């Protein structure tokens, strides 16, 4: 509302539409239930399409007509993207779908439903919560106690450290190289791609942890959105632990209704490609995201094929399919494939991404980036991986907080000093604000 008060009406519109639709779906006949569900889906996704995708599709449609020699231009309008629209749209759609599938009753208090749609810690960039878990907490929040408040503040502190000290520092190198790829060598592009892989993870997981910590101050527990995805040894495991709130949303509301893996192999492959394509489009209106999604769908299918064939092959074939039977080889292969796909996610265009990949896979050249900051970034990444490896699941939090009070206090003070002395104090928003 600070820059466009009218956009706040989008939240009000979503809330009112789904409040009415939820009531009608729950109490209606079989036919009317479907009609109201469709009305809810068209209203929410229509709003999302208008503000996020209309400009892209209108340009591509006009380009296609011009290629065919048809002189018919539809209006091309680019709207300023409302902050968080992809997140709260999916959150409010899940509410009506839960009612339709009889997972919950409709919320009769429209203000409480509005709080669910616009709960401020996670409204802008998730996690994408479900009505079955968040709404009951809004009705009866957990008892607020000093221990929970302290944990919430520490979680926020850790998130700010990750964002300001690690993610934003990595972003300086990434922006430098990806902004002018022709000015750098293959080795520079390789370093920048590695740094972006960790920048986007640290940046997004930091926001999720700040949101979790802020919610804890009010007695609300949000879901864990990341669980050490870069320590996983397969593409399947990576996607089970990356952006968990989005992947489980597509699993529950798209993949499983389409039949999941309970049907024949051909239809299962179709379902996988549909889910990854929709996930790619969710991230933005650009062909780079589409290529990124298709790549991961292909990874997923090939990895599944390798697992199915594993018992039927000899050692040599296993080595080719999964790099090596040793876990570290599977991890290295998984991480490499994920990083290659990140090139398309970060690049400004498919052509730019192909150029960067060509540079990486050809003669690497020499490193022209400043050696000190490359080494500094590698130290930050190593520190992060070490902490995550030792800490286990993120919801169990850092092991240091299980130690004595002086140890906890010392760690907190170290994080604060690092933020003040090493943090990037410029106006760097979170990456996922653009989605």
Per-residue pLDDT of the chain (435 residues; tens, 9 = 90+): 777 788 888 889 899 999 999 999 998 888 899 999 999 999 999 998 888 888 877 877 777 777 777 777 777 777 778 888 889 999 999 999 999 999 999 999 999 999 999 999 998 888 999 999 999 999 887 887 888 898 899 999 999 999 999 999 999 999 999 999 999 999 999 999 999 999 999 999 999 999 999 999 999 999 999 988 998 888 989 999 999 999 999 999 999 888 877 777 788 888 899 999 999 999 988 899 999 999 999 998 888 777 765 555 554 445 555 544 567 778 888 999 999 999 999 999 999 999 999 999 887 778 888 889 999 999 999 988 888 777 764 444 454 555 567 777 888 899 999 999 998 887 778 888 777
- Whether residue 399 is found in the same domain as residue 286: yes
Which residue is listed with tokens 């989005």? 246
Give just the sign of the alpha carbon dihedral 57, 51, 198, 389.
Answer: negative
Residue 169 lies in a domain: yes
- Whether residue 113 is found in the same domain as residue 231: no
On whether the CB atoms of residues 331 and 231 are closer than 8 A, the answer is yes
The domain of 21 spans 5-118
- Whether residue 96 is found in the same domain as residue 196: no
- Whether residue 112 is found in the same domain as residue 166: no
- Whether residue 404 is found in the same domain as residue 300: yes
Residue 134 lies in a domain: no
194, HSE (Cβ side, Cα atoms, 13 Å): 17
- Whether residue 58 is found in the same domain as residue 165: no
Residue 371 lies in a domain: yes
Residue 137 lies in a domain: no
C-alpha triplet 427, 430, 432: angle, nearest 5°: 145
Residue 434 lies in a domain: no
Residue 291 lies in a domain: yes
Which residue in 91, 95, 4, 19 sits closest to 51, CA to CA? 4
- Whether residue 207 is found in the same domain as residue 334: yes
Residue after which a domain boundary falls, among 100, 118, 136: 118
- Whether residue 175 is found in the same domain as residue 106: no
On whether the CB atoms of residues 14 and 39 are closer than 8 A, the answer is no
- Whether residue 301 is found in the same domain as residue 406: yes
> The whole model's pTM is what?
0.88
pLDDT at 426: 78
Residue 23 lies in a domain: yes
- The Cα 161–Cα 202 span in angstroms is 10
- Whether residue 241 is found in the same domain as residue 389: yes
pLDDT at 323: 47
Cβ atoms within 10 Å, residue 359: 20
Residue 241 bears catalytic tag: no
**Per this entry, what is the length of the chain?**
435
Q: Which of 189, 241, 243, 283 is catalytic?
A: 283
- Whether residue 295 is found in the same domain as residue 247: yes
Question: CA 170 → CA 218, 356, 381, distances in Å?
Answer: 33, 18, 9
- Whether residue 112 is found in the same domain as residue 247: no
How many domains, in total, are found in the chain? 2
Residue 131 lies in a domain: no
């Amino acid at each position: 509302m600070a820059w466009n008060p009218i956009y706040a009406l989008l939240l009000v519109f979503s809330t009112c539409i789904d409040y009415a639709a939820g009531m009608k779906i729950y109490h209606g006949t079989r036919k009317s239930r479907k009609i109201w569900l469709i009305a809810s889906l068209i209203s929410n996704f229509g709003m999302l399409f208008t503000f996020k995708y209309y400009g892209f599709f209108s340009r591509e449609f006009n380009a296609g007509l011009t290629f065919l020699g048809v002189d018919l231009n539809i209006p091309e309008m680019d709207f300023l993207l409302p902050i968080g629209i992809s997140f709260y749209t999916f959150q409010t759609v899940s509410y009506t779908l839960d009612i339709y599938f009889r997972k919950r009753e409709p919320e009769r208090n429209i203000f409480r439903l509005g709080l669910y749609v616009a709960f401020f810690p996670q409204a802008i960039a998730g996690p994408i919560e479900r009505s079955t878990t968040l709404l009951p907490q809004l009705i009866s929040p957990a008892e607020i106690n000093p221990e929970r408040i302290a944990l919430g503040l520490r979680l926020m502190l850790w998130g700010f450290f990750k964002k300001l000290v690690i993610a934003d520092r990595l972003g300086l190198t990434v922006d430098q190289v990806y902004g002018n790829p022709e000015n750098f060598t293959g080795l520079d592009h390789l370093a920048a791609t590695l740094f972006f892989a960790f920048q986007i993870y640290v940046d997004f997981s930091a926001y999720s942890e700040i949101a979790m910590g802020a919610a804890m101050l009010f007695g609300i527990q949000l879901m864990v959105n990341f669980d050490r995805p870069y320590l996983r040894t397969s593409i399947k495991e990576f996607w089970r632990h990356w952006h968990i709130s989005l992947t489980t949303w597509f699993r529950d509301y798209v993949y499983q209704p389409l039949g999941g893996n309970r049907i024949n192999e051909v239809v299962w492959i179709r379902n996988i490609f549909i889910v990854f394509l929709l996930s790619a489009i969710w991230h933005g209106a650009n062909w780079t995201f589409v290529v990124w999604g298709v790549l991961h769908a292909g990874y997923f299918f090939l990895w599944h094929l390798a697992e199915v064939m594993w018992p039927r092959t000899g050692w040599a074939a296993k080595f080719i399919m999964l790099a090596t039977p040793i876990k570290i080889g599977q991890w290295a292969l998984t991480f490499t494939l994920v990083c290659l796909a990140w090139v398309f996610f970060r690049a400004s265009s498919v052509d730019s991404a192909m150029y960067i990949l060509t540079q990486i896979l050809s003669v690497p050249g020499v490193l022209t980036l400043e050696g000190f900051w490359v080494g500094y970034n590698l130290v930050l990444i190593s520190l992060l991986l070490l902490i995550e490896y030792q800490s286990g699941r993120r919801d169990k939090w850092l092991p240091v907080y299980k130690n004595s009070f002086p140890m906890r206090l010392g760690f907190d003070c170290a994080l604060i000093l690092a933020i003040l002395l090493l943090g990037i104090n410029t106006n760097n928003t979170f990456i996922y604000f653009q989605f």
